[in-house]
Structure 1
Amino acid sequence: MTTFVDLFSGAGGLSLGLKNAGWKPVLSLDHWDDAIATYRHNFNDHPCINADVASVSEADFALYLSHCDWVVGGPPCQGFSTVGRRKRDDPRNRLVFEFARTVDILRPENFLIENVIGLKDMKFVGAVESYFAERGYKVSTMVLRSADYGVPQLRHRIFFVGSLAGASFDAPQASHGPGTYVTVEDAIGDLPVLGPGEAADRYDRPAKAGYQKRMRRGCSTLSGHEASKHPAHLVQAISHIPDGGNRRDIPASLQPKSGFHNSYSRLHSRSPAVAVTQNMGKPSGTRCIHPFQHRGLTAREGARLQGFPDAFEFLGGMTSQRLQVANAVSPILAEAIGRHLAKSSSDIQIAAK
């Protein structure tokens, strides 16, 4: 069984997906109290350290494990914008240096780095690849669109896969495409109707879509399905926006005085969501108004759009829960890449014999 250490684990989206792919987590680490509480609540089969990775020494790691096959995690890489400008005092670089330090300590056969990135903002890719090449790892890079793997969200993720043996890895084959994408309605259409400020902890209708049934599996109650309160004038304004519409549908007399062009936009029920952000509960956020209900999204709706099953409970206040959801890797996407990497690694080992 493939073993891994999850650095910068957050609430555990990457760990959950890899575990569902048959991998075994042996250690996780983050320095975020609520996320650590959530992680420990949902995983009880391996240690989870609440610490700044920079403070964890080689001796500390040795207390928990002697070997792992993979080191995985999501350190920010944006500071690696140009080869030769690897400034250790750049706060955007510090954590990727700490990820590399951990790789040096544990010397796994492979590592996996994930990050959120726009397709046009990839200047740092070559720098990351060359930096880890200096440490003996050949790095393969892939950009994956979540919706192509069954996630009801169009968000892109970039993955760096490092191989100590010098192997190359390609992207997993997409399982979905236009016409077969999981939609917002497929994802959250079975959840109880809420008004602003309302909450529900029980299902009140049967699941219809296959995705809804998958999300409900093993769960009889709801957590995190609590809507933010909105002022009456805001509710009135967004009530004029149709499914998939935007602020241009709001009458001039009710137009909000602030916000960007993509603020005050509804999700389109028959398409995947654009991206889940920490502002999902605010109608002024980027396309995060419920398709039919006059409010922002709940943490549970955000979790559904990210691919977290309802049995996965987020701890902390609603603001913290929404942030944990938004910062997570989709477990469904993580499972897809985990299965692909495990098969690719096995094929490489067979070919080498």
Structure 2
Amino acid sequence: MIVVLERETDAVRAAGISAELASAGVATTPGTEAGGRAVLVSEREVSADQSTWIRGLPGVAEVTVTPGKYRLTSRVFRPTTTTVEVGAGVVIGGPGFVVAAGPCAVESAGQLDSVARAVADGGAAVLRGGAFKPRSSPYSFQGLEEHGLRLLEEQRDRTGLPVVTEVLEPAWIERVAKSADILQIGARNMQNYPLLREAGRSGLPVLLKRGLSATVEEWLLAAEYVLLEGNPNVILCERGIRSYEPSTRFTLDLSAIPVVKRVSHLPVIVDPSHSGGRADLVRPLALAAAAAGADGLLVDVHTDPTSARCDADQALTAPEFAELVEALERVLYAVDRPLTRPLWAPTAEAV
């Protein structure tokens, strides 16, 4: 159940309403609704009589009873699909299909410059790049960190593409927010609740990757942490889940796209690079995702994959990326959806 309070309801009255509900056996958690109004959210499913009583309490604007465990992510609470504006006129969750592309890890100024130009020319509307890299091994390349963030800022200025990059710790959010238009919460941090809350408080769009072994329910409940802070701009990213099958890095759960869209209003994009773990699988998985109703893609691209310091096997070359986008447009035409193109792409003169 979600109780939305009137805008005029102050903190004292909100606490009083919460206490009244608690005395009736309905414990609530305070939060903020997308429009800025205070909300009280309860895990309990109340009866029709209780719902009517709650609606009549002074200071209450509306009550929504949502089935199951979903509350702020539920399509019952918000029937229309959320659209997330990420900068430069790019909207995720609207009619257009959005491709974010770039290197898994920012390695140098020259590498990022060449890849940024390639993906902008090839049809990406968002530049992705990791300045911080959480790796399974502590001996693997961990990213350029602060220097990587500055390089992403430079490419945003040069190409005009909005930037998505991962943040690993709550303490880094304020700094990363200066360099990024979208904060990425990686699969390993999907249930890092302090990080989710702080990302929600930032107000920036949050791209939330599904955990390696997370159920759809766990994924959506993680998104609730961001929404509860009053940040409606959450983009879900299906990136494959761990299964018994060893022939691919992970198993891409395409069924999660329509499942999530049926129960939630949040947009869903797909990462075909990390799910398959091989460059030759990126194209078929990406096309299948578009056909299944995804709102976009997150694709690894590197102008020289053989020299990549992170996930080299799954990175597309610039020509391969351009071919993917060309094929993608044909699938999108079949499902009556346009590809969102960048408003401005780099030229030799501009860079």
Bin of the TM-score, shorter chain as denominator length: under 0.3
More strand by share: 2
Query: What's the TM-score once normalised by structure 1's chain length?
Result: 0.28
